[in-house]
């Protein structure tokens, strides 16, 4: 069992299989993109599988596949199949922009991968283009509807941004009336590979909640699962749920159970910190499973109590892109 120095059990890996993405959301990366990993800099699927085997053997029972956009990487479906065949197979979930998932939906269903987070910041086609800089709205909505029709556990993640999509808060919340979907509103984070220093947050979780309540009245508070990052609510009479994630306010840090591995092997114990170590280098230097595990455990013993403490310790001023960090 993996534990950090604060005696918190770590059982959740966010695994970025690529830093590449076919969209160019302005809050994630500059319009011209970022210096993406070269092919030989990325962990191979064999290397990723080895790390996952080590971690699942130590109690990691949930793995979320992220990117970039994970379906950009060729061979992803075979890798997912291999993950389901591990001796201690984890619960698998995927975060995607839903542009490329369509052809893979039947195989995902067959593999038993039912939890899909769709990043979608607007239900307006023009605003979608303005935010993503790509004309993919119709395909995203088609794939989203297919996921819902096929009975997937769908969460829609919307980053709330001043002067960009505030009018979409009630529109997305209304989506939960007819569909058993969780629409989750996230505070904006300053990770676009170009921001510097501390940012002012105009739309924190309290303002987001107030906006939803202004349109729908009082919200019914739902129980939050252990280590949940989301404050969960229900609009009276609606089928789905509304979640609010204080990703910048970081109210959930005290129960953190997460670790992160980027596509190039950077291992992080906190999203707001620098990489604690690079597993790619150690894998290719021939480190044994025991050595890798020992180094992972040592990194966890350096984990700060929360994201604010980590950010203070991290002297790096320019934030890495969220495409690289993997969310």
Over residues 68-99, the pLDDT tens digits come to 999 999 999 999 999 999 999 999 999 999 99
> How many residues comprise the chain?
327
pLDDT-above-90 percentage for the chain: 71
Condensed to tens digits (0 to 9), the pLDDT of residues 26-64 reads 888 777 777 788 989 999 999 999 999 999 999 999 999
Lowest mean pLDDT among 57-66, 90-99, 161-170, 187-196: 187-196
The answer as to CATH 3.20.20.70 being correct for domain 2-325 is yes
Distance, CA of 231 to CA of 243 (rounded, Å):
5
Domain ranges of the chain: 2-325
User: In 10 A of CB 162, how many CB atoms?
Assistant: 12
**327 — pLDDT class (breaks 50, 70, 90):** low
Q: Which residues, 6+ apart, have CB-to-CB distance to 301 below 8 Å?
A: 4, 5
The dihedrals phi and psi of 273, each to the nearest 5 degrees, come to: -110, 170
Closest C-alpha to 323, from 90, 73, 148? 73
**228 — pLDDT class (breaks 50, 70, 90):** confident
User: In 10 A of CB 79, how many CB atoms?
Assistant: 19
- The predicted pLDDT at position 224 comes to 87
The dihedrals phi and psi of 55, each to the nearest 5 degrees, come to: -70, -40
Task: Pick the most confident of 33-47, 197-211, 300-314.
Answer: 33-47
- The predicted pLDDT at position 194 comes to 45
pLDDT over 80 at 153, yes or no: yes
Distance, CA of 125 to CA of 168 (rounded, Å):
12
Structure letter (DSSP) for residue 252: T
Closest C-alpha to 158, from 194, 134, 131? 131
- Token pair, residue 265, equals 């092997």
- The predicted pLDDT at position 195 comes to 44
Distance, CA of 36 to CA of 193 (rounded, Å):
12
- The predicted pLDDT at position 273 comes to 79
The dihedrals phi and psi of 288, each to the nearest 5 degrees, come to: -75, 165
Is the Cβ–Cβ distance between 278 and 264 less than 8 Å?
yes
**166 — pLDDT class (breaks 50, 70, 90):** very high
User: In 10 A of CB 210, how many CB atoms?
Assistant: 9
Is the Cβ–Cβ distance between 299 and 2 less than 8 Å?
no
pLDDT over 70 at 114, yes or no: yes
Q: Which residues, 6+ apart, have CB-to-CB distance to 243 below 8 Å?
A: 155, 182, 183, 184, 185, 230, 231, 232, 233
What is the rounded average pLDDT of the residues 20-27?
Answer: 91
């Amino acid at each position: 069992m993996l534990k950090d120095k604060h005696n918190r059990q770590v059982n959740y890996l966010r695994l970025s299989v690529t830093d590449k993405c076919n969209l160019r959301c302005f809050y994630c990366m500059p319009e011209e993109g970022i210096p993406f990993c070269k092919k030989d800099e990325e962990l191979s699927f064999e290397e990723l599988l080895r790390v996952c085997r080590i971690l699942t053997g130590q109690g990691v029972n949930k793995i979320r596949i992220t990117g970039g956009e994970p379906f950009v990487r060729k061979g992803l479906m075979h890798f997912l199949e291999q993950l389901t065949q591990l001796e201690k197979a984890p619960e698998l979930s995927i975060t995607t922009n839903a542009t490329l998932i369509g052809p893979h939906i039947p195989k995902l269903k067959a593999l038993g991968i039912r939890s899909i987070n769709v990043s979608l910041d607007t239900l307006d086609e023009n605003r979608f283009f303005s935010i993503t800089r790509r004309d993919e709205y119709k395909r995203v909505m088609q794939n989203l509807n297919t996921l819902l029709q096929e009975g997937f556990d769908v969460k829609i993640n919307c980053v709330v941004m001043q002067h960009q999509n505030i009018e979409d808060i009630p529109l997305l919340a209304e989506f939960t009336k007819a569909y058993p979907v969780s629409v989750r509103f996230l505070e904006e984070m300053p990770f676009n590979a170009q921001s510097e220093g501390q940012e002012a947050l105009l739309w924190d979780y309290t303002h987001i909640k107030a906006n939803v309540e202004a349109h729908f009245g009082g919200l019914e508070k739902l129980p939050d699962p252990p280590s949940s990052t989301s404050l969960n609510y229900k609009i009276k009479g609606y089928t789905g749920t509304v979640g609010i994630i204080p990703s910048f306010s970081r109210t959930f840090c005290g129960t953190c159970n997460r670790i992160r591995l980027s596509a190039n092997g950077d291992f992080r114990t906190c999203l707001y910190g620098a990489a604690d170590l690079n597993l790619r280098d150690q894998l290719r230097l021939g480190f044994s499973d025991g050595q890798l595990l020992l180094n992972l455990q040592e990194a966890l013993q350096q984990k700060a109590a929360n994201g604010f403490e980590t950010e203070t310790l991290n002297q790096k001023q320019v934030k890495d892109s969220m495409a690289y960090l993997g969310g």
